[in-house]
Amino acid sequence: MNSHPHAPAHEDAANTHHGHGHEAGHGSLKGYMIGFGLSVILTAVPFILVMAGTFDSKLLTAFLVMALAVAQIIVHMVYFLHMSPRSEGGWTMMALIFTLVIVGITLAGSLWVMHHLNTNMMPMSPEMMKNMP
Amino acid sequence: MAHDIQTQAGEKPVFYLTEDHHPEGSTNLGFWLYLMSDCLIFAVLFATHGVLGRNYAAGPSPADLFDLPLVAINTAMLLFSSITYGFAMLQMERNAKAETLFWLAITGLFGLAFLGLELYEFAHLINEGAGPTRSAFLSSFFTLVGTHGLHVTFGIVWLVTLMVQVSRRGLIPENRRRLMCLSMFWHFLDVIWIGVFSFVYLMGVLG
């Protein structure tokens, strides 16, 4: 299956050049299967945790669900999107880190600010009270 | 650089090749930047859902509405489509046109199955009176999940377009580049779906 390193070598100049351009872009069958196996486990476990109600503590279950989601996102990034600190001379990683910072600020900032607005400023009617989480 | 090669090779202008290398790499990086900006769209929608997700307006809550086995099947469809797209890319590397087209078709079918299940879920919710206008929670839910579904829809349109391109022109460098971009797009949508099923469905049902 790993014919990749040899295959382009015998082709004409355009193809050799092309093969080189994609060196960092592709995985192997083994890589895809490892990623798939890990993804299946990391998907099945949180569904089972929630559907079977394995733990009594909702906080613990929620924490585990989010932790497994983060783990699966990393698995997808590495095995399916082929992220590595070396691809594109490190620029994809830089863009990713920048985006993660912005995403973190957006999510944490929105939740934080809106939570404070909710608790400090909102006049509560009895009906609204009833529907508070 | 160009001068070097020109003097070495005499009258043959081989420097053209070194020039050609650059756009190839920058397409991947540029497409990656697009995906990152798309990621920000989803981040904002996730944040909106995080803020509004508990405001039921005396209506149904996620525990009343969501059918987790259906969501699990949906997740499996998208995960299968991800791995079959991976197989298509491996076949593309082997220059196997027919096999590439085969795996692309399988990927498209899994994508359609995902969309069908999602549309079924949406229709079911709206029929139950839990449409996007029912509560803030449902508005943000439909916006977030609908935006993801719209991405998958356009992904499938792109996939079919590329299947036509590959079957007509073969696995030429241009088509390889396009398949590579769609590969990133498709896997990226699966990454977003991880956030959706964890944060929206599982955490929603958890309450």
Least confident range from B24-33, B87-96, B146-155: namely B24-33
pLDDT tens for residues A86-132?
Answer: 887 888 899 999 999 999 999 999 999 988 887 776 566 777 667 76
pLDDT for residue B16 is more than 60: no
Tell me the helices (H) and strands (E) count for chain A, helix number first. 5, 0
Q: Are A65 and A59 in contact (CB under 8 A)?
A: no
**Exposure string for A4-37, b = 16+ CB within 10 A, e = fewer:** beeebeeeeeeeebbbebbebbbbeeebbeebbe
Whole-number pLDDT of residue A88: 78
Mean confidence (pLDDT) of chain B: 89
Provide the pLDDT for residue A126: 73
- Helix, strand, or coil (residue B31): helix
Q: Is residue B34 assigned to a domain? A: yes
Residue B18 lies in a domain: no
Inside any domain, residue B98:
yes
The more confidently predicted of residues B27 and B83 is B83
Q: What is the pLDDT of residues A24-79, one digit of tens each?
A: 456 789 999 999 999 999 999 999 999 998 888 889 999 999 999 999 999 999 99
Nearest residue to B32 (alpha-carbon basis) of B143, B166, B181? B181
pLDDT value of position A25: 52
In a domain, B96, yes or no: yes
Could you tell me the residue range of the domain that residue B182 belongs to? 27-206
Contact B96, B187 (CB under 8 A): no
Shortest distance, CA A120 to any CA of chain B (angstroms):
15
Comparing A5-9, A67-71, B50-54, B184-188, the range with the smallest average pLDDT is A5-9
- What average pLDDT does this structure show over B108-124? 96
Q: Give the CATH number of the domain where residue B143 resides.
A: 1.20.120.80
Q: Which residue of B has its CA nearest to A95?
A: B33
Span B30-44, mean pLDDT? 94
Q: What is the model's pLDDT at position B107? A: 97
- The fraction of chain B above a pLDDT of 90, given in percent, is 81
Angle between helices A91-121 and B15-52 (to 10 degrees): 20
**Is residue B149 predicted with pLDDT exceeding 60?**
yes
Distance from the Cα of B123 to chain A's closest Cα (Å) equals 23
Instruction: Select the residue of A17, A26, A133 nearest B54 (Cβ to Cβ).
Output: A133
Does some domain include residue B9? Answer: no
Contact residues on chain B for A35, CB-CB shorter than 8 A: 83, 86
Integer Cα distance of B127 and B111 in angstroms: 24
The yes/no answer to whether this complex scores an ipTM above 0.85 is no
Crossing angle between the packed helical segments B97-127 and B136-169, to the nearest 10 degrees: 160
Mean pLDDT of chain A: 79
- pLDDT at residue B80 above 90? yes
